Structure 1
């Protein structure tokens, strides 16, 4: 079982699935908010409003939650008035339950969602942080976003960095860049992706 926290432009979307393939485990990324949405009964786009990797920054993450006609708590359907607001904390609780269920089952490689904090005390789970300097991550992101103006890529990088940090700080009082949360911190802008996958795979067998 591996949790991966990745700064924007640090290659998490490529390294995560590669690690999962090497370990023979499922890769869990966007499936988490989809599962949360299904459990609560709201549209996926509303769940993504509370996704820790939302691209439009702190305002999007901490915005008012979905307005739902019905929700289900502990298997009991309850009607809510049209303008009732489902607290954002409920999205986080559902996401935590999903992460815990993965850990309780056959395991997986989880990208984001503050997995290192949620499973901090769980034995047998490797916690990894992928990072790099802002300048280097910006160059990498710009190279991958062919045709996108550099100022837009820079805005996306800064918005994502703020959004991810805000999510973890708001709900868990932690900084996702704090190395004390992880067993392994890698500069995956300078380190080639295949080498990073090798290091993470080897470390996963040691926890």
Structure 2
């Protein structure tokens, strides 16, 4: 497996986990900064951080984006990264855009509303009510965003090789498990059924 895509629910710490996995494997890490730079090289000057997870109508009003061009440019960037190999891609529909590419492992990190609320309270220093609103709003907006840009529902478990729940698995355990999963996927089955 030369490529890992990691999708996450907001508030799971998924991007930090993705970075740790890339470090553990010695892979490069691609997220917003790297995507923006690569999109600019292709003539698409876009502030991905400002549109990530935003409702489509707001994105259109604020940025007047051509969603087909955005999706196609991000696909080109991710496919190039996949060809280079040994990369962890955080978010941005990699599980959709690279679904037919060989040697790509798709992971989703999820968590209960309660655990994500606690994580947001701790990491952002906001009160519980605000953290609960953030969880609710980001879940709704991520669904709208994924349907708008990728015509898919990121929460669909069938898009992934594995879905890991942070309520049951610590970030450290996830960082240990993923390389083991990759090793198992690389090893041909010894059984012939």
Tell me the TM-score normalised to structure 1 length: 0.78
Secondary structure of 1:109's aligned partner: strand
Secondary structure of 2:184's aligned partner: coil
Secondary structure of 1:129's aligned partner: strand
Cα deviation code 1:73-125 (max 9, x no counterpart): xxxxxxxxxxxxx5232122111110010001123100111111111111211
Comparing both structures, which one devotes a greater share of its residues to helix? 2
Spell out the pairing of 1:50-129 with structure 2 (5 A cutoff).
50=51, 53-54=52-53, 56-63=54-61, 65-66=63-64, 87-129=66-108
1:167 maps onto 2:167 in alignment = no
Q: CA deviation at 1:49?
A: 4.2
Q: CA deviation at 1:23?
A: 1.2
Structure 2 CA distance for aligned equivalents of residues 62 and 168 of structure 1:
14
Task: Tell me how many residue pairs correspond in the alignment.
Answer: 182
Aligned CA RMSD, in angstroms, stands at 2.1
CA contact (8 A) 1:179 1:185 kept: yes
Partner of 1:39: 42
Tell me the TM-score normalised to structure 2 length: 0.83
Secondary structure of 1:10's aligned partner: coil
Q: CA deviation at 1:58?
A: 4.2
Spell out the pairing of 1:138-177 with structure 2 (5 A cutoff).
138-146=117-125, 148-177=126-155
Partner of 2:14: 12
Q: Cα–Cα, structure 1 residues 139 and 106, in superposed 2: closer, same or farther, change >3 Å?
A: same
CA contact (8 A) 1:128 1:182 kept: yes
Structure 1 CA distance for aligned equivalents of residues 109 and 99 of structure 2:
17
Structure 2 CA distance for aligned equivalents of residues 164 and 33 of structure 1:
19
Partner of 1:132: 111
Q: Cα–Cα, structure 1 residues 184 and 105, in superposed 2: closer, same or farther, change >3 Å?
A: same
CA contact (8 A) 1:64 1:88 kept: no
Structure 2: stretches of 5+ with no match in the other structure: 186-193
Structure 1: stretches of 5+ with no match in the other structure: 67-85
CA contact (8 A) 1:57 1:163 kept: yes
CA contact (8 A) 1:10 1:130 kept: yes
